[in-house]
Amino acid sequence: MKPKCILFTCIYSYLLSFVEATALDAVEDEFELRVSPPELLRYTVSSEIPQDYHDISPNLNDISIATYNVDEYKQGQQENDQGLSEDERINALVKLLLQVDFDIICLQEMSFTILKRFMIEPRIVAQWTNSGEQNKLLMDVFRKRHVMTFYRKNKVKEAQVSIIELSSQDGRYLEVSQIRLWNEKIITILNVHLESMSYGDKRRHSQLKEIYNYVDVEDLKSRRPSLIVLAGDLNLSQPDEVADTFVEKYGWTDSAMTLDFMKPTWGVLYPCHFEPTRFDRILTLYNHKSEYNAQSMGLWGHDSIYTNASGQNRYVSDHLGVSVMFSLSHGGSNAIKATETVETNVEPQSRQMQVREELPKIPPTKERRFTHFLRRLSCGLI
């Protein structure tokens, strides 16, 4: 490479790193007094296990949680971005749902067209209940980018579902499931699809902050759930180490980091102009004493539906699914003791400062800029 080209690319890379670091600085101000985003809808989903299915799962100490962006079919088009017709994709989704053995699946970019197809499949109806059937009116308002959670009937007894509005130009909301398992353990699952990449990371950071505010102000920890999980497509487009910092800043621990499973979920199946990245994540609340520990992690959705005449593989989605197996801790360091008390009279601002002090320290700005520069150098971008 010519010296002038090397110099130009070095300057460009450093300036790009500077912009990323500046964006991070812009949201590093101290957390303001908590304001919880508004709740739009609340309802309960109950499981009735059919006699011809099978009894409650004998293994209630393990719970598998998965997330998957199904890549919404573009209404009005004959084919979606991957060249698959609507019927082909929905049939493939039905087959995929019947193949997996997860207990809870958080789906993003769902539509009622897909849901209707799911609910005429007897085996799906027998095995699963879901959050989507009872909030059609709300989804007619948001119209796109629906999130829905599926609960396996032999693990989940009931789920109280709350729909929380997020500040969004693209109709995004947070779906909160307060789940009671058949062993009477309570777990909280937050299913989300953050703002589209076209709106920039600043909006997604704001939404992460709103979610943290909701967890903090509503004080979900005081309800003593055995596990609190945020799962979904976060759409964080920065380099992974920058996105990881934001995830930690807003109160979450990434299961991929805990289990050393840092594999990309997007940009893998189909060629793209961006580096493969971890859009899809399963996070646990940072300072919550969970009774469940993450044990293993995996990716799913690799199998192609068919290969076209040009030799290109076609898939259900442009995303890979992510799953984590959590196991109940028996008296370990992370288990909640029966005699432990929970401080429910602490003011929101005090709780906020306690959490703020426990969050990992963010590297100084100059250090981040230099780190981003080295990262691009090692990736062969300069």
Check whether 344 has a pLDDT greater than 80. Answer: no
For the chain, what are the domain ranges? 1-28+363-382, 33-361
> What pLDDT was estimated at residue 89?
81
Question: What residue ranges in 72-172 does DSSP mark as E strands?
Answer: 104-110, 128-130, 146-152, 156-165
Structure-token pair, residue 180:
């009671």
Cβ atoms within 10 A of the Cβ of 201, count? 22
> What pLDDT was estimated at residue 54?
53
Handedness of CA 113, 49, 189, 327 (dihedral sign): negative
Cα end-to-end span (Å), the chain = 10
Residues 6 or more apart whose CB falls under 8 angstroms from that of 345 comprise: none
% of the chain at pLDDT higher than 90: 35
- The amino acid sitting at 309 is A
Closest CA to 151 of 34, 247, 64, 254: 64
Bridge pairing between strands 62-69 and 39-46 = unpaired
Cα–Cα distances in angstroms (integers) from residue 330 to residues 57, 210, 324, 336, 349, in the given order: 19, 33, 19, 10, 33
State the pLDDT confidence band at 319, using cuts at 50, 70 and 90.
Answer: very high
Residues 81-129: tens digit of each pLDDT: 556 677 888 899 999 999 999 999 999 998 878 888 898 999 999 899 9
Task: State the architecture of 33-361 in CATH terms.
Answer: 4-Layer Sandwich (3.60)
Cβ proximity of 221 and 352 under 8 Å: no
Range with top average pLDDT, 30-39, 108-117, 280-289: 280-289
> What pLDDT was estimated at residue 157?
92
Q: What are phi and psi of 216, to 5 degrees?
A: -75, -50
> What pLDDT was estimated at residue 256?
95
Lowest pLDDT segment from 100-114, 266-280, 339-353: 339-353
Cβ atoms within 10 A of the Cβ of 29, count? 7
State the pLDDT confidence band at 55, using cuts at 50, 70 and 90.
Answer: low
Q: Please count the residues of the chain.
A: 382
pTM of the predicted model as reported, rounded to 2 decimal places:
0.76
Q: How big is the CA angle at 94 (ends 176 and 139), to the nearest 5 degrees?
A: 40
Structure-token pair, residue 161:
């579902």
Look at the block and give the residue holding tokens 């910092």: 245
Check whether 145 has a pLDDT greater than 70. Answer: no
State the pLDDT confidence band at 273, using cuts at 50, 70 and 90.
Answer: low
Q: Mean of the per-residue pLDDT values for the chain?
A: 75
Residues 163-216: tens digit of each pLDDT: 998 988 877 889 999 999 998 999 999 999 999 876 677 888 889 999 988 988
Cα–Cα distances in angstroms (integers) from residue 210 to residues 34, 202, 240, in the given order: 9, 12, 21
Q: Does residue 10 or residue 58 have the better pLDDT?
A: 58
Range with top average pLDDT, 127-141, 202-216, 291-305: 291-305
Cβ proximity of 47 and 153 under 8 Å: yes
Q: Does residue 214 or residue 353 have the better pLDDT?
A: 214
Check whether 34 has a pLDDT greater than 70. Answer: no
> What pLDDT was estimated at residue 378?
41
Half-sphere exposure of 264 (CA within 13 A, CB side): 16
Q: Give the Cα separation of 345 and 351 in Å (integer).
A: 10
270 φψ region: left (φ > 0), alpha (ψ -120 to 50), beta (else): beta
Radius of gyration of the chain (CA): 21
Q: What secondary structure letter does DSSP report for 85?
A: B
Residues 214-269: tens digit of each pLDDT: 988 887 777 788 999 999 999 987 777 778 888 888 889 999 999 999 999 998 88
